[in-house]
């Protein structure tokens, strides 16, 4: 980054930091406010002699200056890291190695014109969320199953997580790479509302922010729960329903998903059962060698059994972790209520699909079977599953917009 830009960022952060930490109040300057607070502090104990005031002012100036400078440097570096990360992750990439798709999903009614490839773990809850949205809306797409140990299928990108959705473009244009499950869903949903705006344009509304936490790099994406409606005014939803949808999409990511590991891997037996189920449903026998599959199953089960205990403590789950899972299911059902089949009304909205996707990731595990037995989650879950499998979002009565190359009904008259 050029030096003038660094200076502008540093000055801007310094100014904002000074204003934030030393605001003007009641007509007093920040320094006078600091002095008055110091006076009050000493008046409660022992008031210092008059000759010590120059020292106090000096200490206040030096201490305040050090605090401001330290905070400014920290925030300035953070801003620089974020801006650099936005530039990297907003770009598209052209070259990536070829891997034979483990599965090809083809929907005859797909009119999107998009060639999509999903890099995933079959039973990852975030990947299940994305597949639920793709299937509900009737997208055709290829699936590349990623080896959870080596991750060789995604070595071409510096983003270490799944899902990753690649949109192949025509001609010499580089492919569009979309990361993070909630960003993928919001970009696709925005596109379905207005197909005259490019996916690349929509993606630019969700910049990636990174921050180093020790040896780990933390990723976050701005606006990821917001749908970009552009200039559309006649929306089929209300502001209240959109707020509700965003709230529960976030709840699925930040609360419900933390119920899974402690429950799916509650015991060594359950951990092994879960990984054998993952192997079957993910078709690991076809996608990975015998050795790779055995390593993932047995090493993965052992590691996740330990991680389940760690996550139980981290997220303050109950001693009987099943009860925490049941509580989450009941909390969701209470939010949906008894007067509507889905939170979205007659059809699932993105919150329905998010919660369904998270639970779908453990459908074949003992934990989910216990949830079906001990809560009333089954009827809602099965309704949502049917809507996803039938591509109900692609039904002409439920479609959000027509493809940009198909004339609207009003254009025919």
- pLDDT 10s digits, 78-102: 433 343 333 333 344 457 888 999 9
pTM: 0.74
DSSP state of 49: P
pLDDT band at residue 45 using 50, 70 and 90 as cut-offs: very low
Rounded Cα–Cα distance for residues 13 and 7 (Å): 10
For helices 3-21 and 53-90, give the axis angle rounded to 10 degrees.
Answer: 130
- pLDDT 10s digits, 295-354: 889 998 999 999 999 999 999 999 999 999 999 999 999 999 999 999 999 999 999 999
Residue 203 to residues 88, 217, 299, 354, Cα–Cα distance (Å)? 13, 21, 37, 20
Q: Which residue has better confidence, 65 or 285?
A: 285
Cβ neighbors of 347 (< 8 A, separation 6 or more) are 387, 392, 393, 398
Residue 70 pLDDT > 60, yes or no?
Answer: no
Rounded Cα–Cα distance for residues 257 and 125 (Å): 7
Burial class (CB in 10 A: 0-12, 13-18, 19+), 73: middle
- For the segment 270-274, the average pLDDT, to the nearest whole number, is 93
pLDDT value at residue 171 = 61
DSSP string computed for 140-187: -EEEEEPPTTT-GGGTTSS--SS-EEEEE-STTPPBEEEESHHHHHHH
Average pLDDT over the chain reads: 79
361-374: string of b/e by CB count within 10 Å (b at 16+)? bbbbbbbbeebeee
236-263: string of b/e by CB count within 10 Å (b at 16+)? eeeeebbebbbebbebbbebbbbbbbbb
Q: Is 209 helix (H, G, I), strand (E, B) or coil?
A: strand
pLDDT value at residue 386 = 98
The domains of the chain are located at 1-21+58-90, 103-394
Q: Both tokens of residue 48?
A: 């210092």
Token pair 């008259």 in the structure block, residue: 413
- For the segment 161-185, the average pLDDT, to the nearest whole number, is 88
Output the CATH code of domain 103-394.
Answer: 1.20.1050.10
- For the segment 50-66, the average pLDDT, to the nearest whole number, is 49
Q: Any idea which of 210-219, 334-343, 354-363, 379-388 has the lowest mean pLDDT? A: 210-219
Residue of 76, 68, 69 whose CA lies nearest to 1: 76
């Amino acid at each position: 980054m050029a030096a003038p830009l660094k200076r502008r960022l540093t000055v801007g952060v310094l100014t904002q930091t000074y204003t934030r930490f030393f605001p003007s109040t009641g007509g007093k300057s920040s320094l006078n406010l600091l002095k008055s607070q110091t006076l009050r502090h000493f008046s409660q104990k022992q008031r210092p002699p008059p000759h010590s005031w120059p020292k106090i002012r000096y200490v206040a100036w030096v201490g305040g200056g050090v605090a401001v400078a330290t905070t400014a440097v920290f925030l300035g570096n953070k801003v620089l890291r974020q801006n650099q990360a936005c530039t990297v992750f907003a770009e598209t990439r052209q070259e990536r190695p070829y891997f034979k798709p483990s599965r090809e999903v083809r929907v005859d009614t797909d009119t999107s014109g998009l060639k999509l490839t999903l890099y995933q773990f079959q039973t990852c809850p975030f990947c299940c969320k994305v597949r639920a949205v793709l299937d509900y809306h009737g997208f055709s797409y290829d699936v590349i199953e990623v080896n959870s140990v080596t991750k060789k299928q995604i070595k071409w990108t510096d983003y270490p997580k799944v899902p990753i959705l690649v949109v192949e473009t025509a001609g010499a244009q580089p492919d569009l790479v979309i990361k993070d499950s909630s960003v993928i869903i919001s970009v696709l949903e925005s596109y379905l509302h207005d197909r005259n705006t490019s996916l690349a344009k929509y993606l630019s509304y969700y910049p990636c922010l990174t921050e180093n936490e020790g040896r780990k790099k933390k990723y976050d994406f701005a606006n990821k729960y917001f749908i970009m409606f552009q200039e559309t005014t006649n929306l089929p939803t209300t502001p209240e329903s959109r707020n509700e949808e965003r709230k529960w999409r976030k709840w699925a990511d930040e609360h419900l998903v933390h119920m899974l590991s402690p429950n799916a891997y509650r015991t060594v037996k359950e951990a092994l059962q879960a990984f054998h189920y993952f192997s079957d449903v993910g078709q690991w026998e076809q996608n990975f060698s015998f050795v790779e599959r055995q390593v993932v199953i047995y090493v993965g089960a052992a590691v996740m059994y330990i991680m389940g205990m760690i996550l139980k403590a981290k997220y303050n789950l109950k001693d009987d972790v099943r009860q925490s899972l049941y509580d989450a299911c009941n909390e969701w059902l209470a939010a949906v209520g008894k007067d509507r089949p889905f939170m979205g009304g007659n059809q699932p909205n993105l919150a329905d699909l998010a919660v369904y996707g998270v639970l779908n990731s453990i459908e074949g595990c003992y934990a989910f079977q216990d949830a079906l037995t001990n809560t009333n989650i089954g009827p809602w879950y099965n309704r949502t599953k049917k809507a996803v499998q039938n591509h109900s979002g692609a039904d002409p009565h439920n479609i959000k917009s027509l493809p940009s190359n198909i004339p609207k009904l009003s254009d025919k008259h």
